[in-house]
Amino acid sequence: MTASDPCFLSVAEAASLIAAKRLSPVELVQAYLARIERLNDTLHAYVRLLPDEALAAARSAEAEIAAGRHRGPLHGIPIGLKDIYDTAGVATEGGSRLCLGRVPAADATTTRLLKQAGAILLGKLTTWEFAIGGTAFDTPFPPARNPWDPERDPAGSSSGSGAAVAAGLCAMAMGSDTGGSIRWPAAWCGLAGLKPTYGRVSRAGIMPLSFSLDHAGPLTWTVEDAAIVLQAIAGHDPHDPASADRPVPDYRAALVSSDLRGVRLGIARSMFERDCPSSGAMGTAFETAVEVLRGLGAAVAEIELPPLALYNATASLITRSEGFAIHEKTLRERPQDYGALARDRLTIGAYVRASNMVQAMRRRLMLVEATDAAMAGFDAILLPTCPDPAPVLGELGPYFDNRRPMYMRPFNLTGQPALSLCNGFDDTGLPLSLQIVGRHFDEATVLHIGHAYERATPWRERRPPL
């Protein structure tokens, strides 16, 4: 990776070159725009490009940096935002016919923080309709495709975010995660995807799906890049009632060492061997990863968590109920304007009674406590992100999670930080995944483990064959 391939630089690499004035933000933006022009008709990662605004911002960044006013590692870095992140003066349509022409007056808090850090917005990225609709063909926006094989699904709901970062169409992208929608596209597109602790990153100005399960976070090429982005967006926001007023540590400081001696990892084997057995390639890659982590000094043992189905049933009732509450008015007045998948997946929430929802929240607290108790003596949980690599686009169907449950929703329910990272490739070249789950507000340990693993493996040397 050199400055001659600017679209394949990590955020950290590009930031270093920009700070040394060896890479021009203007040239970097131009390189991304040219690549988007070449590939977006195939991948459908972007729904809206902002070339003039991006070039103007790049010229401004270049002038600031030349004048000695370098803001930090995101200054001059081109990014994309899932199209549920509000952007002042720029349409934010949530992948839905219902929101066509919706132009927010203000930026989401995360949008504002990224701009303040000097990041340059290239455009808005494809999302499943309202972050729930699935891979749909009946909305105004074609579904994004997987850069590792455009016939395959990139996963969602942050589908464009996963496709764009993997394909080198932006240096990093923001996604949202209610049941896995950051980690899932990260897994199927071979990226790092970080769902921070609930309350760590503001949700203000991001279209809601499920108030108590929604999380915002980055999809990046490397774990180090995720740490850089988290540094810029973490912290208390009075505009988000769920925002936590907790100190924000130096996340990159946690990455200086690959020594994992003293780190205790718990393998949640019951989830991916008993509750929903993972595919052979995923399981083999997982066991290899465990040996790598042991080799780095980590102590590894088994951890017993409650059944996956119980976490998923509880999260499902909450998501459906909260999602229906948000959409009830428009579902009743304009049902024909939703895509069929989003309409059905939101409407079913009408059938969740108030007492069902309260029981789910009671069960939720029990599961939070049980997970916390199981983690006694461990720093993090280790398991795959999902059981299989990416299927052919359109194969998922509306109720895929009932047939092959993923391993992500438990940690939306508990609110713990969870990182998905690339764990090699199967025989056909599709990415496999590894998930690291930490204690509340301990993103630093999760990032430390992920970064150490990434540095010890060759998976970042391969890019999609585009």
Partner 1 sequence: MADRIEDRFAVETELLGLKLLPGQEANLRAAYAALREAIALVGADYPFEAEPAHVFVPAACIERRR
358 is an interface residue for partner 1 by CB under 8 A: yes
Task: Select the residue interacting with partner 1 from 141, 221, 407, 441 (CB under 8 A).
Answer: 441
Span of 112-120, 168-176, 182-190, 397-405 interacting with partner 1 by CB under 8 A: 397-405
What count of other Cβ atoms lies within 10 Å of the Cβ of residue 460?
Answer: 17
326 is an interface residue for partner 1 by CB under 8 A: no
Task: Tokens for 33, please give them.
Answer: 């725009």
Rounded-to-integer distance, Cα 356 and Cα 366, Å: 15
247 is an interface residue for partner 1 by CB under 8 A: no
Span of 25-33, 155-163, 282-290, 347-355 interacting with partner 1 by CB under 8 A: 347-355
Instruction: Out of 10, 24, 96, 157, pick the active-site residue.
Output: 157
User: Count residues contacting partner 1 (CB under 8 A)?
Assistant: 48
Q: Which CB atom, from 309 or from 392, has the smaller least distance to partner 1?
A: 309
* Stretch 203-242: interaction string toward partner 1, x if CB under 8 A: ---------x----------------------------xx
- Label residues 211-224 b or e (16+ Cβ within 10 Å = b): bbbbbbbbbbbbbb
Task: Select the residue interacting with partner 1 from 350, 374, 456, 466 (CB under 8 A).
Answer: 350
369 is an interface residue for partner 1 by CB under 8 A: yes
Q: Which CB atom, from 146 or from 321, has the smaller least distance to partner 1?
A: 321
Rounded-to-integer distance, Cα 99 and Cα 28, Å: 32
Please count the CA atoms within 13 angstroms of the CA of 225 that sit on its side-chain side. Answer: 29
210 with 322: CB under 8 angstroms? yes
Q: Strand 264-267 relative to strand 299-302: parallel, antiparallel, unpaired? A: parallel
58 with 120: CB under 8 angstroms? yes
Q: What are the φ/ψ torsions at residue 220 (nearest 5 degrees)?
A: -140, 165
Span of 154-162, 221-229, 297-305, 353-361 interacting with partner 1 by CB under 8 A: 353-361
Active site residue 176: no
What count of other Cβ atoms lies within 10 Å of the Cβ of residue 423?
Answer: 25
Decide: helix, strand or coil at residue 8.
helix
Task: Select the residue interacting with partner 1 from 368, 374, 456, 466 (CB under 8 A).
Answer: 368
SS3 content of the chain, % helix, strand, coil (to 5): 45, 15, 40
Burial class of residue 101, CB neighbours in 10 A (0-12, 13-18, 19+): exposed
362 is an interface residue for partner 1 by CB under 8 A: yes
Active site residue 157: yes
In whole angstroms, the minimum distance from the beta carbon of 17 to partner 1 comes to 39
Q: Which CB atom, from 66 or from 309, has the smaller least distance to partner 1?
A: 309
Task: Select the residue interacting with partner 1 from 355, 376, 427, 465 (CB under 8 A).
Answer: 355
Span of 40-48, 133-141, 277-285, 338-346 interacting with partner 1 by CB under 8 A: 338-346
Rounded-to-integer distance, Cα 426 and Cα 281, Å: 6
Helices and strands in the chain, H and E counts: 15, 11
What count of other Cβ atoms lies within 10 Å of the Cβ of residue 119?
Answer: 29
317 is an interface residue for partner 1 by CB under 8 A: yes
In whole angstroms, the minimum distance from the beta carbon of 313 to partner 1 comes to 4
265 strand-pairing partners? 300, 380
195 is an interface residue for partner 1 by CB under 8 A: no
Instruction: Out of 10, 24, 82, 161, pick the active-site residue.
Output: 82
Q: Which CB atom, from 96 or from 316, has the smaller least distance to partner 1?
A: 316
337 is an interface residue for partner 1 by CB under 8 A: no
220 strand-pairing partners? 172, 192
Rounded-to-integer distance, Cα 167 and Cα 173, Å: 12
Active site residue 82: yes
Residues in the chain: 466
Instruction: Out of 181, 243, 321, 420, pick the active-site residue.
Output: 181
273 is an interface residue for partner 1 by CB under 8 A: no
215 strand-pairing partners? 177
Task: Select the residue interacting with partner 1 from 106, 340, 374, 466 (CB under 8 A).
Answer: 340
Give the CA dihedral 73, 75, 76, 82, nearest 10 degrees: 90
394 is an interface residue for partner 1 by CB under 8 A: no
336 is an interface residue for partner 1 by CB under 8 A: yes
Binding site for partner 1 (CB under 8 A): 197-199, 212, 241-242, 244, 309-310, 312-314, 316-317, 320, 332, 335-336, 340, 343-345, 347-348, 350-352, 355-356, 358-366, 368-369, 372, 398-399, 402, 414-415, 440-441
Q: Among all residues, which ones are annotated catalytic?
A: 82, 157, 181
